[in-house]
Structure formats: C-alpha cells, structure tokens
C-alpha cells in the first residue's frame, strides 16, 4: 500500500475515534429545540443535490463513464441524509408518517445508487457501441 494512502486511512480511522467525544459534547450541550433560518432553502437544497446526483449518474452511466460510480455513491449518501432529516425533524403523527413514506422511496433510490456504484462494466468497448 502506498504511504500516502496508508496515512490517509490512518487519518480517517483517527477521525472516527476523535468524533466520539465530540458527539458526547453535542449530546450534552445542544438545545432540544431551536429556530432555524432558511429552513426551506436547506430542504430544497438537499432535493436539488439529489436530483443533480440522479441526473449526473444517469448521464455518465449511459455514456459508459466509470465516474458514474462516484456520483451514484454520493447520491446514495444524500438520499440517506434526506431521509434521516425528514424523520428526525418530523412531528409525531401525520407528518412523521409522510416522512417515513418518503424515507422508503429514498431508501429505494439509495439502494439503486449503491447497486450502480458497486457494479462493474461501466466502460463501453468500441464493439459494444451502437454504430
């Protein structure tokens, strides 16, 4: 393994350990409720990222570009984050049920993206292209 890759992996592992006490601090100090400015912009922004990720993955994938694996992976992450925030910020009742229904759809999207990200054979050969 290359030295820089090894150090990057060590840094990632160390970061995961250092995040544990930080999560404890947040759990003890963050307020249970807060007023949020730009609420709609935050939610629309997640959906814009998801739509752009889907479109970019589709375009790259249809071209046989292996970078579609990267955009599929990023899009899966955004879909999971969107579902998480939908559920955790919903009020109990109808709002939560709607969030859970949306989360099912977003989980399906995330699963499709993970499938594409892990798929092989993205690069088309000259013989497989339509003439």
**Burial of 70 per CB tally in 10 Å (0-12, 13-18, 19+):** middle
pTM above 0.85, yes or no: no
Q: Kindly tell me if the per-residue pLDDT of 37 is higher than 50.
A: yes
pLDDT on residue 129: 52
Would you call 79 exposed, middle or buried from its count of C-beta atoms within 10 A (0-12, 13-18, 19+)?
Answer: buried
Q: What is the reported pLDDT for 131?
A: 43
């Amino acid at each position: 393994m290359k030295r820089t890759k090894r150090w990057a992996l060590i840094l990632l592992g160390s970061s995961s350990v250092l995040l544990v006490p930080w999560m404890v601090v947040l759990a003890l100090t963050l307020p249970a409720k807060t007023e949020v400015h730009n609420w709609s912009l935050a939610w629309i922004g997640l959906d814009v990222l998801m739509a752009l990720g889907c479109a970019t993955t589709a375009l790259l994938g249809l071209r046989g570009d292996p970078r579609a694996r990267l955009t599929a992976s990023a899009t899966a992450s955004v879909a999971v984050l969107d579902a998480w925030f939908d559920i955790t910020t919903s009020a109990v009742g109808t709002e939560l049920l709607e969030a859970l229904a949306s989360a099912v759809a977003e989980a399906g999207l995330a699963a499709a993206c993970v499938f594409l990200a892990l798929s092989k054979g993205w690069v088309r050969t000259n013989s497989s292209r339509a003439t």
